Amino acid sequence: MIKSELVINVAEKNNLTKVDAERVVSTILDTIKDALIKGNRVELRGFGVLSVRTRKPRIGRNPKTGAKVQVEGKRVPFFKAGKSVNDALNKKAKKGA
């Protein structure tokens, strides 16, 4: 699902115009992004937790030449699904198997 599909889904389920739904979705995503930039954790009960993890600097390898390259440390987003999401995914996987 892409953002425009999410906007359409929110608009249809809540009797909103697409413009209003776009504003709602954008506000939620911007708020989550701002919290992660500040280093805060975002917990969405029943869905999951978004947080920031720090990767240490390391020595990587250029796949084309094989030369060693210094890779700087960085902050990356991390998502851990909640129990209800994991349970729903695993029930679907068992039914389809």
Residue 52 has pLDDT above 70, yes or no: yes
Number of domains in the chain: 2
Buried b vs exposed e over 19-50: b needs ≥16 C-beta within 10 Å?
A: eebbeebeeeeeeeeeebeeeeebeeeeebeb
**Residue 22, domain extent:** 1-40
Sign of CA dihedral 83, 50, 93, 3: positive
Domain match, 55 and 97 both: yes
Judge if 58 and 33 occupy the same domain: no
- With 70 as the cut, is the pLDDT of residue 92 above it? no
Q: What is the reported pTM? A: 0.78
* pLDDT reported for residue 21: 97
Write the pLDDT tens digit of every residue in 2-43.
Answer: 999 999 999 999 999 999 999 999 999 999 999 999 999 999
Let me know whether 71 and 95 are in one domain.
yes
pLDDT of amino acid 91? 85
Structure tokens at 34: 């701002």
